[in-house]
């Protein structure tokens, strides 16, 4: 189906925390012009549906969309294939089944160049090293149904990780930064680390410690469960004693972390200690193996309330935050926006706009669930 370029459309992302949406004035046109942006909590689907209806009152049916998801079981791993067996009929299916317990009949998988993000056709000869990018077909179908339920017709549906990595590289190139960067994605159940080095994307195994574990750790810390001995109460600032010894449920602690109250920021280093313990050996191993110093840290999709988390991770890992200026980057990409849009674009919008950025070669993986 051909798009009518005079019609508006949407780019939309679902991540672990928020729904990011941008209204494109003329969908499919060049240059791209964004006239509205909205972000909402990820679980309030009725509010998201109402917002989309408000943004696109001129549409009587589905709104055409470019859609992306940070789906829960997504995979992006760098692998070394056996060049002697690559062209054997069942080699790739057997390799994925052995390494990742993946049934190719139930997954959507692409093979990607780890150096530039371009995709390979499986029917043709693959190189020795590839990025294996994929997701369970039922997860992608679920995401597709979610978008349709919101009134959006996905003309592209992408796993968001790969375009995000392309966006980070593009931004570094814009500012003249050639240092290796660590890109961190913190999901509810696990944390993923990608290192963008001189030899392409490096992919340590996912860490089985996510935001839910952080919330539980913070619940104990903020309730004083980890405190065996304490100084006299008169010696402790009131901001640090608020809430101690008071049982707090996970929802309350999660809200406190997202709001970054005074006690959370004061205890930030202690709260993130388990996550740092998991990340640091992976970064140290990369540096030892390659001789490259990982200098920049970018935490994908974290909302503004969790900016303290990025700053604390960077300080604990002796790195610097890659402070993405989304409006400047969009301008360099030739994407125009209304004046009031730029003020709302924090660093976490990079993943969404990487879907429409002119990244060369293309770093996007688009596979609509069948």
pLDDT of residue 215: 97
Helical residues (DSSP H) of the chain, grouped into ranges? 45-55, 91-100, 137-149, 161-175, 211-223, 238-241, 250-259, 262-266, 268-271, 273-290, 307-316, 326-332, 339-342, 350-353
**pLDDT at position 365 over 80:** no
The pTM is what?
0.88
Residues 64-95 have pLDDT tens digits of: 999 999 999 999 999 998 878 887 888 888 99
DSSP labels, 327-363: HHHHHHTT-EE-HHHHTT--GGGHHHHTTTS--SS--
Query: Please, are residues 70 and 16 in contact by the beta-carbon 8 Å criterion?
Result: yes
For the chain, list the domains and their CATH numbers: 9-71+139-163+325-353 (3.30.420.40), 178-321 (3.30.420.40)
Q: Please, what's the b/e burial string for 24-55 (b: 16 or more CB within 10 A of its CB; e: otherwise)?
A: bbbbbeeebbbbbbbbbebeeeeebeebbeeb
pLDDT of residue 337: 94
pLDDT of residue 134: 94
Using alpha carbons, select from 297, 279, 118, 113 the residue that is nearest to residue 192: 279
Using alpha carbons, select from 26, 49, 22, 53 the residue that is nearest to residue 38: 22
- Looking at residue 2, the DSSP 8-state letter turns out to be -
- Among positive and negative, which fits the CA dihedral 220, 223, 225, 229? positive
Q: Please, what's the b/e burial string for 207-220 (b: 16 or more CB within 10 A of its CB; e: otherwise)?
A: bebbbebbbebbbe
Name all contacts of 216-220 with Cβ < 8 Å and 24+ positions apart. 216/250, 217/271, 217/274, 218/253, 218/256, 218/257, 218/264, 218/271, 219/248, 219/249, 219/250, 219/253
**pLDDT at position 240 over 60:** no
Residues 16-42 have pLDDT tens digits of: 999 999 999 888 778 889 999 999 999
């Amino acid at each position: 189906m051909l798009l009518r370029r005079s019609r508006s459309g949407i780019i939309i992302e679902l991540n672990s925390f928020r729904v990011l949406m941008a209204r494109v004035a003329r969908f499919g046109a060049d240059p791209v012009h964004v006239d509205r942006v909205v972000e909402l909590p990820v679980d309030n689907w009725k509010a998201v549906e109402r917002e989309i209806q408000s943004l696109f009152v001129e549409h009587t049916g589905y709104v055409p969309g470019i859609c992306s998801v940070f789906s829960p079981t997504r995979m992006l791993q760098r692998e070394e294939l056996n060049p002697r067996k690559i062209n054997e009929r069942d080699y790739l299916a057997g390799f994925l089944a052995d390494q990742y317990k993946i049934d190719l009949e139930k997954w959507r998988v692409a093979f990607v160049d780890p150096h530039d993000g371009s995709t390979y056709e499986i029917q043709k000869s693959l190189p020795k090293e590839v990025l294996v990018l994929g997701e369970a077909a039922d997860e992608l179908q679920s995401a597709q149904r979610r978008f349709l339920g919101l009134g959006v017709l996905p003309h592209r549906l992408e796993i968001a990780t790969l375009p995000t990595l392309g966006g980070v590289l593009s931004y570094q190139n814009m500012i003249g930064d050639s240092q290796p960067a660590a890109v961190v994605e913190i999901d509810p159940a696990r944390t993923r680390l990608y290192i963008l080095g001189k030899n392409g994307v490096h992919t340590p195994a996912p860490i089985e410690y996510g935001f839910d574990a952080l919330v539980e750790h913070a619940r104990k810390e903020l309730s004083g469960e980890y405190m065996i001995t304490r100084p006299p109460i008169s010696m402790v600032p009131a901001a640090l004693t608020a809430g101690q010894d008071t049982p707090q449920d996970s929802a309350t602690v999660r809200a406190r972390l997202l709001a970054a109250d005074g006690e959370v920021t004061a205890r930030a280093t202690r709260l993130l200690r388990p996550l740092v313990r998991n990340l640091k050996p992976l970064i140290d191993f990369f540096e030892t193996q390659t001789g490259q110093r990982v200098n920049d840290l970018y935490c994908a999709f974290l909302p503004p309330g969790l900016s303290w988390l990025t700053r604390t991770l960077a300080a604990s890992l002796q790195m610097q935050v890659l402070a993405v200026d989304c409006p400047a980057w969009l301008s360099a990409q030739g994407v125009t926006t209304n004046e009031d849009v730029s003020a709302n674009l924090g660093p976490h919008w990079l993943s969404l706009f990487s879907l429409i950025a002119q990244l060369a070669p293309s770093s996007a993986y688009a596979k609509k669930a069948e």
